[in-house]
A = this chain, B = another copy of it.
Amino acid sequence: MGAILLRDVTIRDIRKDVLIEQGRIAKTGPAGACGAWQLAGDIEIMDCSGKVAVPGFINMHTHSPMSLMRGIGEDVLFHEWLDKIWKVEEHLDHDFVYWGTKVACLEMIRTGTTTFNDQYWFFDSSVKAAREMGLRIATGYDVMDKGSREEALRQKDQCIAKSEAYLSAGDPGHIYELAFHAVYSVSEEMIVWTSELAQKYDVNLHIHLCETRKEVEDCKAAHGGLTPVEYLDRLGVLSPRLLAAHTLWLTPHDIELLAARGVHCIHNINSNTKLASGYRFLYNEMRDAGINLCLGTDGCASSNNLDMLEAMKTAAIFQKAWREDPAALPLPELMDMATVNGARALRLDAGRIEEGAAADLILIETDNTFFLSPGPFLANLVYSAHSDCIDSVICDGRFLMRHREIPGEREILAEARKVLAKIS
């Protein structure tokens, strides 16, 4: 792997030179400092004057192959939407998942994401696609037995076989994890079994939690008044390995439990609002309780894109609006949600552009109307600009996009069209 030198790149308002080697930030210094550095022969030098580097975004909850399922269930409530999705998913195969993930990777690279936390069927194909595209992916076996004993037994065997194969493979760009869908789609036995397996392997467990009011009400009716959070706590599932997506309908007691057990919570505002699941994400309350809060886009069938910058702006304006507080969700905290907090949940040393950290970063072009103002950079980036200001993307020390060019883009779009033609 060759080295990269970023000359005169702005980081937190300071112009710097940055040397990337072996997938890490090897050295940083003031702009011009690189003149005195010993550089390897095999090095790519990029002049970054006028560009700003920020950490690559970490999309902490998505279902990447759904990039081919946009528009399947428009303008319907979450549970009707889920029925439509499940019907289509009966006919999926590896080919669909592979090309769907490739398309998702194109979109994520264009919009500045370098790592994503995925949950989907045929995850092997998503891993293959993401690693070929150069993104880091967190994913693994997803349990959803819908209460079927036969399905549970089949999934147990398959889950162990897959997990052990991946855990022994040890690709550092694939963070293996387990998943179960949600309290309403997985039997109690399988919830406990999956959670104990995650503990045994010491891997994360990725779930949907408290996404809709109906989920909470149904859970209380089924489990003696326990909320989904209380129910999972009784089953011993809450832990710092748990990555809980949505966490929208929480009681103060739920928040206490999530904080006490070290659960990481993932906000998915575009999906929640578009499906009318809710919008009063208890950001202040959860943050003040000490919960690590991350950001995700959810899958394209609900959200309907993978753009983390858009998710950031939407998250900010919803908090400001419903709290009637224009200072709600301050920009530095929002940036942390989209970067370093996700890294912490995935136990990655990323989300910061400092010596020693993973070289996962994006370069922002500021020579356009959106950055032409006296305002703070983060305000311009989040409130004014769009993701097309993202000029280049580096992950694990390699360029995934250079000046808006992604190798193989045309071929991927063409192959994806063939997959869509087959199922339509």
Which A residues are within 8 Å of any B CB, using their own CB?
67-72, 74-78, 81, 103-104, 106-107, 110, 270, 272-276, 278-279, 300, 303-305, 307, 310, 314, 316-318, 320-328, 330, 367-370, 372-376, 379-380, 383-388, 413, 416-417, 420, 424
Query: Quick check: B68 and A383 within 8 Å, CB to CB?
Result: no
In the complex, A168→B328 CA distance in Å? 49
Copy total for this chain: 2
Instruction: Please indicate the chain B residues that have their CB under 8 angstroms from the CB of A323 in the complex.
Output: 276
Q: Given A386-B387, A388-B388, A321 and B372 touching (CB < 8 A)?
A: no
Min Cβ gap A94→B in Å is: 19
Which of B275, B318, B413 interacts with A372 by CB under 8 Å? B413
Give chain B residues whose Cβ lies under 8 Å from the Cβ of A327.
Answer: 75-76
Which residue from chain B places its CB closest to the CB of A305 in the assembled complex?
B384
Residue in B70, B273, B369, B374 whose CB lies within 8 Å of A424: B374
Q: What would 7 more interface pairs be, CB under 8 Å, given A74-B379, A318-B321? A: A274-B383, A279-B321, A304-B383, A305-B384, A314-B314, A386-B386, A386-B387
From B75, B272, B305, contact of A370 by CB (8 A)? B305
Contact between chains at B375 and A77 (CB < 8 Å): no
* A420 & B373 in contact (Cβ 8 Å cutoff): yes
Contact B420 A74 (CB under 8 A): no
**Residues of chain B contacted by A310 (CB below 8 angstroms):** 386
Docked Cα-Cα span, A321 to B273, in Å, equals 5
A72: chain B residues within 8 A (beta carbon): 374-375
- Specify which chain B residues have a CB less than 8 angstroms from the CB of A325 in the assembled complex: 276
Q: Please, could you name 18 A-B residue pairs with CB atoms under 8 Å apart, sorted by A?
A: A68-B373, A70-B379, A72-B374, A74-B375, A74-B383, A270-B317, A273-B321, A274-B320, A276-B320, A276-B326, A276-B328, A279-B322, A304-B375, A305-B384, A367-B413, A368-B413, A372-B413, A372-B420
Bound CA span A383–B388, Å = 16
Given contact pairs A107-B370, A314-B314, A386-B386, A273 touches B320 in the complex (Cβ within 8 A): yes
Kindly report which residue of chain B lies nearest to residue A316, judged by CB atoms: B274
- Residues in B neighbouring A279, C-beta threshold 8 A: 321-322
Q: Within 8 Å CB of A273, what residues of B?
A: 317-318, 320-321
| Chain B residues with CB below 8 A from A77, complex form | 326
Contacts of A328 in B (CB 8 A): 276
Known A107-B370, A383-B305; contact A276-B424, beta-carbon cutoff 8 A: no
The answer on a CB contact under 8 Å between A69 and B373 is: yes
When A and B form their complex, which 9 residue pairs have the shortest distance between CB atoms, in order from nearest? A71-B375, A70-B373, A388-B388, A273-B321, A304-B383, A273-B317, A279-B321, A276-B326, A107-B369
What B residues does A388 contact at CB under 8 A? 386, 388
A318 to B274, CA, bound (A): 8
Closest-by-CB residue of B relative to A424 is B374
Contact A76 B326 (CB under 8 A): yes
Closest to A419 in B: B372
Contact A376 B420 (CB under 8 A): no
A317 → chain B closest CB, angstroms: 4
Nearest CB to that of A326 among chain B residues?
B276
A69: nearest chain-B partner, CB-CB: B373
CB distance from A116 to the nearest CB of B (A): 14
In the bound assembly, the distance between CA atoms of A15 and B35 in angstroms comes to 57
Closest Cβ neighbor of A68 among chain B residues: B373
Residues of B close to A305: CB separation below 8 A = 370, 383-385
Residues of B within 8 A of A270 (CB): 317
User: Closest CB of chain B to A406's CB: distance in Å?
Assistant: 11
B317, A372: Cβ atoms closer than 8 Å = no
Closest to A416 in B: B372
Q: Which residues of B contact A67 (CB under 8 A)?
A: 369, 372-373
A270-B317, A273-B317, A273-B321 given; A74·B376 CB < 8 A:
yes
Q: In the complex, what's the smallest C-beta–C-beta distance from A385 to chain B, in angstroms?
A: 8
